[in-house]
Structure 1
Amino acid sequence: MAKGDKPDKPERGTRIPEQGSSPEPSDLEIRRRNLQEKLARYNSAKKPDHEEGESGPPKGMAQAIRLSSEFLAGVVVGVILGLGIDQLAGTSPWGLIIFLFLGFSAGVLNILRSVGAVAPSQIGKNGASRQDEGPNKPE
């Protein structure tokens, strides 16, 4: 029984079928139609994760691949930048180590932004703002 619903009790004056007797066919038809309507409303309100006929991986798998690729991209970019700095400056292995850690932290930050645990970056949203511009601009 759903929360808040009254228990199914027959109204006064209605005939309750006796044990062993079968209900009327019209009663069964009405109940079947009511059940079909309720199921149709329930199914239309419920959104499936994976549509029939839709090709491709399910939603969870797609998100896992996206998150892992964002993390790997940050680490790979950090390694490439670190190796480049080491080649130019001759500071092997320090550039690699520093930029590997920076790439790792950038990858983790990308994952947290994708999941929604951290607010997206506001850099460049409205352009750079200067203190001498805007509504309080001195004249």
Structure 2
Amino acid sequence: MADALKARALRLLSGREHSRAELARKLGSEGNRDELDALLDRLESLDLLSDARFAESYVRSRQTRMGNRRLRLELKQKGVPDHLIDAALEEATDSDDAVRAREVWEKKFGRQPVDAREWAKQARFLQGRGFAADVIHKILKDRDDEPA
């Protein structure tokens, strides 16, 4: 049983990084709790499993599409500790939320809303991507093409 558990864990880790909690959840039905904890400890000691590396990879792969709030929430749901989430967000984000939100908004909509209904639709989209309300208001209020 332990060999099958180890083989499955290595197969999962060969595809992509996993958090400890995520891997434990995927392997939970295949072995007893003590075997699973021992295997996860061994994988961590061999540096094959790392919550920090998982968090960095996760943020890097999604930072162009999502805001910090959503990235934080998703990492927390995957069992990554807060201090590792903070470090990953600080290290990996190459621009601030406002810049990323504007890029996401321009790719999706590209023009300012013409009425309240369209404004609400665009705001909901950005909110769903994890951008803060103040960033959303700034983007939907700013009109770079209008003269001062």
Report 1 or 2 for greater relative contact order, CA contacts < 8 Å, sequence distance ≥ 6: 2
Q: Which TM-score bucket, shorter chain as reference?
A: under 0.3
Q: TM-score scaled to structure 2, two decimals?
A: 0.24
User: Hey, which of these two has a bigger chunk of helix by percent?
Assistant: 2
Q: TM-score scaled to structure 1, two decimals?
A: 0.25
- Structure possessing the higher radius of gyration over alpha carbons: 1
